[in-house]
Amino acid sequence: MATRLLTEKAKDRIASGVIRVGGIFVILVVAAIVVNISLEALPLFGSASSGPVEVVVDGAEALAVGSDSRRETRWTVRSDGSISFFSNDGVAPFEDIELTQHQLVAVDHEIHGLISALDTSGQLLVGRVRFRDDWVEGVRTTRASWRAAADPLILDSSVSWAGVTANSDGEGGVTVVAWPSVGPPVLAVWDSDDEEWQRLKSPDLPGSVVRAAVAEDQRTVAFLDGAGGLRIFRLPQLTELVVEGIQAGATAARFLIGGGSLVVTDDRGRVAVLLEVPRVEVVNGGSTSVRVSGQTVEPGRTIEILDDEVGAGLASKADIEVRTVAPRWQVVRDLAPLPAAGTAIAPGHRRRSFLVGAADGTVALYYSTSARRLLQDRWSDGEIAVLALDPKEDGAVVLAEGDVLARSIRNPHPEVSLRTLFLPVWYEGYAAPKWVWQTTGGSDAFEPKMSLWPLIFGTLKATLYAMLFSVPLALMAAIYVSQLAPPRLQSMVKPTVELMAAVPSVVVGFLAALWLAPRLESALLASLIGGASLPFAVVLALGLWRVMPSDLRRRMPPGGELLPLLLTGTVVVAAVVLLADPIESWFFGGDFQRWLFTEWGIRYDQRNSIVVGLALGFAVIPVIFTIAEDACSAVPASLVTASRALGATRWQTAIRLVVPAASPGLFAAVMLGLGRAVGETMIVLMAAGNTPLLDLSLFNGMRTMSAAIAVEIPEAPVGSTLFRMLFLTGTLLFVFTLVVTTVADVVGSYLRRRYARF
110: domain CATH number is 2.130.10.10
Counting beta carbons within 10 angstroms of the beta carbon of residue 511, is it exposed (0 to 12), middle (13 to 18) or buried (19 or more)?
middle
Q: How confident is the model at residue 308 (pLDDT cuts 50, 70, 90)?
A: low
| Residue 313 confidence (pLDDT) | 53
- The DSSP string of 509-553 is HHHIIIIIHHHHHHTHHHHHHHHHHHHHHHHHHHHHHHHS-HHHH
Q: What is the pLDDT, as a whole number, of residue 679?
A: 85
What pLDDT does residue 5 have? 55
pLDDT for the residue 563: 77
The DSSP element (H or E) to which 223 belongs, if any, is: strand 220-225
Sorted by sequence, the CB contacts under 8 Å of residue 495 that are 6+ apart come out as: none
CB contact at 8 A, 331 and 375: no
Name which residue leads in pLDDT, 744 or 59: 744
Same domain membership, residue 26 and residue 60: no
Kindly report the CA angle at 43 between 41 and 46, in degrees rounded to 5? 135
303 vs 607, higher pLDDT? 607
* Residue 395 placed within a domain: yes
Domain's final residue, options 353, 375, 410 = 410
Q: Report pLDDT digits (tens) over 528-556.
A: 888 888 888 878 877 777 777 777 777 77
Q: Can you give the three-state secondary structure of 323-354, one letter per residue?
A: EEEEEEEEEEEEECCCCCCEEEEEECCCCCEE
Alpha carbons 266 and 228: distance in angstroms, whole number: 8
What's the CA gap between 154 and 197, in Å, rounded?
A: 10
Please name the helix (run of DSSP H) or strand (run of DSSP E) that holds residue 239, with its range, or none. Answer: strand 239-244
How large is the average pLDDT for residues 162-180? Answer: 91
**Residue 212: Cβ-neighbour burial (10 angstroms; 0-12, 13-18, 19+):** buried
- For residue 431, what pLDDT band results from cuts at 50, 70 and 90? confident
Percent of the chain with pLDDT over 70: 94
Cα–Cα dist 485/479, whole Å: 9
Q: What is the pLDDT of residue 468?
A: 92
pLDDT at 491 over 70: yes
DSSP 483: I
Same domain, 17 and 136: no
Is 415 within a domain?
Answer: no
**Is 195 among the domain residues?**
yes
Q: Determine contact, residues 257/242, Cβ cutoff 8 Å.
A: no
Tens of pLDDT, residue by residue over 584-603, are: 888 887 888 888 877 777 88
Give a yes or no: residue 485 inside a domain. yes
Would you say residue 398 has pLDDT above 90? Answer: yes
CB 406 within 8 Å of CB 67 = yes
- How is 260-287 classified by DSSP, letter by letter? SEEEEEETT--EEEEEEEEEEEEEE-SS
pLDDT for the residue numbered 752: 73
Question: Looking at the 3D structure of the chain, how many domains does it have?
Answer: 3
Between residues 552 and 714, the one the model is more confident about: 714
My answer on whether 550 and 571 are in the same domain is: yes
For the stretch 600-618, pLDDT in tens is 778 888 888 999 999 999 9
pLDDT band at 133 (very low <50, low <70, confident <90, very high): confident
Q: Which stretch of 209-218, 293-302, 505-514 has the lowest confidence by average pLDDT?
A: 293-302
* Domain span including residue 482: 453-754
pLDDT in tens, 270-285: 999 999 988 777 777 7
Please say whether the beta carbons of 368 and 333 come within 8 A.
yes
Instruction: Evaluate if residue 15 carries a pLDDT over 90.
Output: no
User: Which has more pLDDT, 261 or 441?
Assistant: 261
Among the listed ranges 266-275, 693-702, 743-752, which one has the minimum average pLDDT value?
743-752
- Of the candidate ranges 163-172, 313-322, 462-471, 483-492, the one whose mean pLDDT is the lowest: 313-322
Average pLDDT over residues 26-46: 89
Is the pLDDT at 567 greater than 90? The verdict is: no
Please give the average per-residue pLDDT across 361-387, as a whole number: 93
Are 15 and 100 contained in the same domain? no
What single-letter DSSP state applies at residue 219?
A: S
Instruction: Establish if 469 belongs to a structural domain.
Output: yes
- 399 and 375 in a common domain: yes
Residues 40 and 60 in one domain: no
Task: Count CB neighbours of 661 within 10 A.
Answer: 22
What value does the mean pLDDT of the chain take? 86
User: What pLDDT shows up at residue 139?
Assistant: 85
- Average of per-residue pLDDT across 49-77: 87
Cα 164 from Cα 200, distance rounded (Å)? 15
Chain segment 645-690, per-residue pLDDT in tens: 888 878 888 888 888 888 888 988 998 898 889 888 889 988 888 8
Instruction: Please tell me the predicted confidence (pLDDT) of residue 421.
Output: 92
pLDDT in tens, 181-221: 888 899 999 988 888 999 998 888 888 899 999 999 899 99
- Distance of alpha carbon 629 from alpha carbon 652, whole angstroms: 17
Q: What is the pLDDT of residue 4?
A: 62
Q: Is the pLDDT of residue 176 over 80?
A: yes
Do 112 and 85 share a domain, yes or no? yes
CB 214 within 8 A of CB 232: no
Question: What whole-number distance in Å separates Cα of residue 734 and Cα of residue 728?
Answer: 10
Whether residue 637 sits in one domain with residue 625 = yes
Q: Are residues 27 and 78 in the same domain?
A: no
- Distance (Å, rounded) from C-alpha 83 to C-alpha 89? 18
Strands 395-400 and 403-410: antiparallel
- To the nearest 10 degrees (0 to 180), the angle between helices 562-588 and 592-600 is 60
Per-residue burial over 306-320, b if 16 or more Cβ lie within 10 Å, else e, is bbbebbebbeeeeeb
Distance of CA 680 to the CA centre of its chain: 21
Does 88 score more than 80 pLDDT?
A: no
In this structure, are 9 and 129 located in the same domain? no
Q: What is the mean pLDDT of residues 359-365?
A: 94
Residues 363 and 507 reside in one and the same domain: no
- What is the C-alpha to C-alpha distance for residues 446 and 429, in angstroms, rounded to an integer? 11
Supply the pLDDT for residue 318.
58
Question: Per mean pLDDT, which range of 292-306, 660-674, 714-728 is the poorest?
Answer: 292-306
Chosen domain end from 410, 439, 465: 410
**Tell me, what CATH number does 589's domain have?**
1.10.3720
Query: How much of the chain exceeds pLDDT 90, in percent?
Result: 37
CB-count exposure of residue 560 (10 Å: 0-12, 13-18, 19+): middle
| The pLDDT value given to residue 355 | 95
Rounded-to-integer distance, Cα 689 and Cα 611, Å: 10
Q: Do 687 and 708 share a domain, yes or no? A: yes
| 643 within some domain | yes
Taking the C-alpha atoms of residue 671 and residue 748, their distance in angstroms, rounded to an integer, is 10
Q: Where are the beta strands (DSSP E) in 340-480?
A: 342-347, 353-358, 362-367, 372-378, 384-389, 395-400, 403-410, 437-438, 449-450
- Report yes or no on 326 lying in a domain: no
- pLDDT at residue 123 is higher than 70: yes
Query: What's the pLDDT tens digit per position in 444-456?
Result: 788 899 999 999 9
Establish if 216 belongs to a structural domain: yes
